[in-house]
Amino acid sequence: MKRLLILAIAAYASSTFAQTLKSNIPYVENGHARHVLDIYMPPNAKDAPVLFWIHGGGWQAGDKTSVQVKPKWFTDKGFVFVSTNYRLLPEVDMGTLIRDVAKAFGWVEKHIAEYGGDPKQVLVAGHSAGAQLAAILCTDERYLQEQGVGLEVLIGCVPVDGDTYDVPAIIDVAETRNRVHGLPMPTYGHRLKFGDDPAKHKDFSAVTHVRGDKHIPPFLILHVAAHPDTTAQAVHFGAVLKQAGVPVTVFGAKDTNHTKLNADLGLPDDPATGALETFVNRVLKRKG
């Protein structure tokens, strides 16, 4: 069954629609080996909306090439699709890691028109750790401002099954669970990944930075309905956005898991993809 699914995904991804891929484009001059991104372009792209994708991997692993069928789905809809790498923990700290992603975004703003994209219509999305990075980039304006960019260029944000929109909450939940069940504490869990400092934990939380007066874009928060941690984080983050007057949809996907939810995005008849299509159509209409 697993092999059949892989073959089906490969067949769908290589179907007749043409797209052009430019790989390993540096976004920092003389930078690190991971300061690179990939751009997938539909034919004859001009002033096309842009999807800026941030991979997951616990901030310690992952790669920009782990995009499954998402580039095809978005380029089919006329988007230019960008997938970026960034330096990882523990080589750099969380603040530096986030700034790498912001630098990639800043490069896109300056250069995406050369690849047929519109720098004023960018949709940000990411899975797992990438969901936290997408959410913080779209709520804490300081990271983009350092690159000379404002939140007003964003048309939407789609974090996929993240568990760290509220970092102190997930630390409390995880550590309480281990303590109650007599389990050892993780040697490099969220507490340490996010700086082992309550002030940093709060500052790296998207919920901390939500306000209704700063051009935060509409959100579609996708999560696994059966996963208690990502569900709680999604519902809480959605409530904070809604209270601030930010348009938000929270969609819990059934009969899936953390990996499959991400891998299936862009496949026909996938319920989360249906929610994504509705959201994309809505934000493009609003922007137009």
What's the pLDDT tens digit per position in 109-157? 999 999 999 999 999 999 999 999 999 999 999 999 999 999 999 999 9
pLDDT band at 13 (very low <50, low <70, confident <90, very high): very low
What type of residue is 126? G
pLDDT digits 0-9 by tens, 159-198 = 999 999 999 999 999 999 999 999 999 999 999 999 999 9
> Can 128 be counted among the known catalytic residues?
yes
Specify the long-range contacts of residues 58-61, CB closer than 8 Å, at least 24 apart: 58/128, 58/129, 58/193, 59/88, 59/89, 59/94, 59/97, 59/129, 59/193, 60/88, 60/89, 60/90, 61/88
Would you say 135 and 156 are in contact if contact means Cβ atoms under 8 Å apart? Answer: no
For residue 185, what is the DSSP state? P
- Note the pLDDT tens digit of each residue in 91-119: 999 999 999 999 999 999 999 999 999 99
pLDDT of 284 reads: 95
Residues 221-239 pLDDT 10s: 999 999 999 999 999 999 9
Q: Helix, strand, coil: what percent of the chain each, to 5?
A: 45, 20, 35
The pLDDT score that the predictor gives to residue 15 is 43
Is the pLDDT reported for residue 274 higher than 60? yes
Which pLDDT score is estimated for 287? 65
CA distance 236 to 227: 14
Percent of the chain residues past pLDDT 70, beyond the cut: 93
pLDDT for residue 54 is more than 50: yes
Distance from C-alpha of 125 to C-alpha of 222, rounded to nearest angstrom: 10
pLDDT at residue 2 greater than cutoff 70: no
Residue of 15, 23, 83, 128 marked active site? 128
Q: How confident is the model at residue 7 (pLDDT cuts 50, 70, 90)?
A: very low
What percentage of the chain reaches a pLDDT higher than 90? 92
User: Does the pLDDT of residue 10 top 50, yes or no?
Assistant: no
Q: Are 38 and 109 in contact (CB under 8 A)?
A: no
Local confidence band at 14 (pLDDT 50, 70, 90 cut-offs): very low
Instruction: Determine the pLDDT at residue 285.
Output: 87
- How buried is 19 (Cβ within 10 angstroms: 0-12 exposed, 13-18 middle, 19+ buried)? middle
Confidence grade of residue 288 (pLDDT, cut at 50, 70, 90): low
Q: Work out the pLDDT band at 50, boundaries 50, 70, 90.
A: very high
For the chain, which residues make up each domain, given as ranges? 16-287
**If you average pLDDT over every residue of the chain, what do you get?**
94
Q: In CATH, what is the architecture of 16-287?
A: 3-Layer(aba) Sandwich (3.40)
